[in-house]
Amino acid sequence: MRCQGGLPRVAGHAQGSLLDVIGSRSSWTRPGLDSQEAVLALIERQISDGHLGPGARLPTERELALLAGVARSAVRRALGAMEAQGRLVRQVGRGTYLAPANGRDSLASPDDFETSPIEIMMVRALFEPQLMPLAVMAATNADFAEMERCLEGGATADDYLEWEAWDKALHGSLVAATHNRFLIRIGDLIASARTQPGWGGLKLRNFSEARRESYREDHQEIVRALRERDPGLAQLAMQRHLQRVRTHLLGADHHLHFPGLAQLPDRRGG
């Protein structure tokens, strides 16, 4: 029987771990799988066998790495790929969960409406900078650990899809650091809108290693300002970052449409 929101109970254990459920990796491994595929195969097997259902908490990265016989970096790539597909939800301080069925945990599903990259960018410009003072006040050590995990994942991402997953996860960790449940749900809706083809296709067409590096530096500046508990600097760093994203995706002239993004001096250039 499936345990609500997690792994099934196993005889002799108060809460079964994945090791309890499947035993050794020889019971599921198929020859010829690479490290990332091995992790995905493990998770898919648990889903198909009914051990993991919508909303269920996944095992830790360490446990998945142990079971798959791979490095934790391979686990992070696999989870990043699933998150990019909208199949996983990360919750700071709680863990990683399979996405709920039919978007029940969201304000709305992005499939319920159509929006454009300009509309997404406008909402982000109005929303994300205003969160920074709240995150400065409320962020915990666990929040900062999650931000650093996302920064590390983005720095080691092998391709655009993996980078985009970590980028979205990092911005999600910033919203989560406010510890305001209503704001977090709004942030989830914005993140879901970023999975729509219009946004993803535009960002992919404008992606380059140089731009990824500039975004990575922006992210580091934002997190550094939050760690220093400087609300003004954190807000300015977020505004600069979104201005850069807007310029890369939509062109510099679009600043006229974004009241939250006045032309700000950029110490590093575009």
- DSSP single-letter state for residue 107: S
d(CA 245, CA 214): 10
Domain ranges (residues) in the chain: 18-103, 110-257
Share of the chain above pLDDT 70, in %: 75
Q: pLDDT by residue (tens digit) across 75-130?
A: 888 888 887 777 888 776 678 888 876 544 444 455 556 788 889 999 999 999 99
Q: Say if CB 240 and CB 264 are below 8 A apart.
A: yes
CATH number for region 110-257: 1.20.120.530
- Between 172 and 165, the more confident residue is 172
How far is residue 54 from each of residues 6, 88, 90, 131, 172, measured CA to CA in Å? 9, 9, 14, 29, 20
Q: Among the CATH numbers 1.10.3720.10, 3.40.50.620, 3.40.50.10490, 1.10.10.10, which is that of 18-103?
A: 1.10.10.10
| 171 torsion bin: left (phi>0), alpha (psi -120 to 50), beta (else) | alpha
On the question of pLDDT at 200 being above 90, the answer is no
Contact in structure between 185 and 166 (CB atoms under 8 Å): no
Residue 21: predicted pLDDT: 44
Q: Note the pLDDT of residue 267.
A: 56
pLDDT(241) > 90: yes
Which pLDDT belongs to residue 232?
A: 95
